[in-house]
Amino acid sequence: MSKQAIPQVAAQPLIQLVDVTRVFTAGQVETHALEGVNLDVQRGDYLCISGPSGCGKTTLLSILGLLDQPSSGRHLFKGQPVDSLSSNELARIRNREIGFVFQNFNLLGNLSVWENVELPLAYRGMAARERRERVNEALARVNMDHRSDHFPAQLSGGQQQRVAVARALAGRPSILLCDEPTGNLDSANGEAVMLMLSELHSEGATICMVTHDERFAHKAKRTIHLFDGRIHSTEHSNT
């Protein structure tokens, strides 16, 4: 008797947006930043959000990172509707599940490299020993462990961005969200940071990056092109 094929069940997306719209209101003026966006982010994705200035890239990344919520539509994180979560639950997910890397690094100038990476872990109430292990591991991963006692002002832009990535990685997030991570870097440092992100992805990291630079957009496995708040096209890369 022949064996019947077992149907494959599609993996649940890490993040799912269904017909998401975001409208900002100032007085009587409405600005439609996003219109009818449908997007799935799977575990292990390397997704780039590309498009011209003002197309809604940062708004979309803010919604993916639970820093903002849609005006309409559905947003699910690990299958759970985001609008059902309290502000405390949202903050907990941001701290434990999402790693942020910003264009301006957002390092605290009065803290050392080591202390900058440790700070989000301290907010969790994590034990000192585990914090120490995670910080050391994250700094070694981005080749900045030899600068752990330096301060941000003593580092180049590329080095500061590496520290920012280490800070995000130390929390072992489900997804790494990068907002123009090469925006304040020269071409050589930008290439170095992109190489590091590619290596992290090859190790299993889930990455979603916003960029307007086509050179770096092609580093991702999948690129969505936004235009006037809508997904205009999707491009897949074999690199």
- What was the pLDDT predicted at 53? 86
The answer to whether the CB of 75 falls within 8 A of the CB of 81 is yes
State yes or no: pLDDT of 2 exceeds 50.
no
pLDDT, one tens digit per residue, over 165-216 is 999 999 999 999 999 898 888 888 888 888 889 999 998 999 999 988 888 8
| 3-class state of residue 64 by DSSP | helix
* Rounded-to-5 percentages of helix, strand, coil across the chain: 35, 25, 35
Domains (range + CATH), the chain: 15-107+174-236 (3.40.50.300)
User: At 84, which amino acid appears?
Assistant: S
Q: How far apart are CA 211 and CA 219, in angstroms?
A: 11
The answer to whether the CB of 35 falls within 8 A of the CB of 48 is no
| 3-class state of residue 168 by DSSP | helix
pLDDT, one tens digit per residue, over 93-133 is 998 999 999 888 999 999 999 999 999 999 888 999 999 99
Q: How far apart are CA 70 and CA 92, in angstroms?
A: 19
Return the CA Rg of the chain.
19
pLDDT, one tens digit per residue, over 29-73 is 889 999 999 999 999 999 999 988 889 999 999 999 999 999 999
Q: What is the mean pLDDT of residues 20-24?
A: 95
pLDDT, one tens digit per residue, over 143-166 is 999 999 999 999 999 999 999 999
Which distant-in-sequence residues (6+ apart) come within 8 Å of 46 by Cβ?
197, 198, 201, 206, 207, 209, 219, 220, 221, 222
